[in-house]
Structure 1
Amino acid sequence: MQSMVTGEGRGLSQATPRAGNPSPAMQSGPLQLKVRRASQPTPPDQNVYDTTYDPRGLVLILNYREFKDRPDLLRKGSQYDVINLQNLFCQMGYETQIHWDLTEDQTLNTVSAFKNQERLQYTGCAIIVVMSHGIARQTFHTSDMQCITVEKILSMFLNSECVYLKGKPKIFLFNFCRGTDIAHVQTDAVRETPKDILCIYSAPEGFVSYRYEEKGTPFIISWCQVLSENAHNMSLDDLLRKFKKVYSSVGHGITPDIQDLNFAKVFYFNPRT
Structure 2
Amino acid sequence: MEPEPEYYDVDGMKRILALSIGKFDRLSPLPNSMCDKGLILRTFSKLGFRPTQEKDDTLTALDATKLITKFCQKFSEGKEKNDPLKRMKCLAVYLKSHGGLDATRGTFMNFKDQQIPVWDLLEPLLNHELLKGVPKIVIFEGCRGTNSIYRRAGDQTPEIKPPTAGVKVHRRVDTIFFAASPESEYAYTVTDPEKPSPFTEAFCEELDQNPSIDVYDLSNRIVARLKDQPISLDNEPIEYLMAPCTETSLTKRLRLYNVREKHDTKRYMPAGGTPPSGAIESQREEIRFLRAEREKLILENQNLQLDLNHARNRK
Taking structure 2 as the reference length, what is the TM-score of the superposition? 0.63
Letter aligned with residue 139 of structure 1: F
Letter aligned with residue 62 of structure 1: L
Structure 2 unaligned runs (5+)?
79-84, 148-157, 232-239, 258-267, 270-275, 277-315
Structure 2 residue aligned with 1:208: 186
SS at match of 2:167: coil
Cα deviations across residues 200-255 of structure 1 (Å, max 9, x unaligned)?
111011211111122121110000000000123x2111111112111324354212
Q: Does 1:128 align with 2:116?
A: no
Task: Give 1:24-63 correspondences, 5 Å limit.
Answer: 47-53=6-12, 55=13, 57-63=14-20
Q: Distance in 2 between matches of 1:136 and 1:166?
A: 28
1:139 CA drift (Å): 1.3
Q: Give the counterpart of 1:107 among 56, 64, 76.
A: 64
Q: Distance in 1 between matches of 2:214 and 2:223?
A: 14
Cα deviations across residues 15-68 of structure 1 (Å, max 9, x unaligned)?
xxxxxxxxxxxxxxxxxxxxxxxxxxxxxx992111111x4x100000110112
Letter aligned with residue 238 of structure 1: D
Larger radius of gyration: 2
Q: Distance in 1 between matches of 2:31 and 2:170?
A: 38
Structure 2 residue aligned with 1:76: 31
Q: Distance in 1 between matches of 2:170 and 2:191?
A: 40
Q: Distance in 1 between matches of 2:19 and 2:159?
A: 23
Structure 2 residue aligned with 1:228: 208
**What RMSD, in angstroms, separates the aligned Cα atoms of the two structures?**
2.7
Structure 2 residue aligned with 1:16: none
1:266 CA drift (Å): 0.8
Taking structure 1 as the reference length, what is the TM-score of the superposition? 0.72
Q: Distance in 2 between matches of 1:247 and 1:192?
A: 30
Indicate how the Cα distance of structure 1 residues 107 and 192 shifts in structure 2: closer, same or farther if over 3 A, else same.
closer
Q: Distance in 2 between matches of 1:193 and 1:85?
A: 26
Q: Does 1:255 align with 2:269?
A: no
Q: Give the counterpart of 2:171 among 173, 182, 193.
A: 193
1:158 CA drift (Å): 4.0
Structure 2 residue aligned with 1:141: 110
Structure 2 residue aligned with 1:155: 123
Q: Does 1:218 align with 2:198?
A: yes
Letter aligned with residue 66 of structure 2: N
The structure in which a higher percent of residues are helix is 2
> What percent identity do the matched residue pairs reach?
23
SS at match of 1:244: helix
SS at match of 1:129: strand
8 A Cα contact 1:135 1:182, kept in partner: no
8 A Cα contact 2:214 2:255, kept in partner: yes
1:191 CA drift (Å): 4.1
Cα deviations across residues 107-142 of structure 1 (Å, max 9, x unaligned)?
011112223322684331111111101133511111
Structure 2 residue aligned with 1:266: 253
Indicate how the Cα distance of structure 1 residues 82 and 158 shifts in structure 2: closer, same or farther if over 3 A, else same.
closer
8 A Cα contact 2:126 2:136, kept in partner: no
Q: Distance in 2 between matches of 1:51 and 1:66?
A: 35
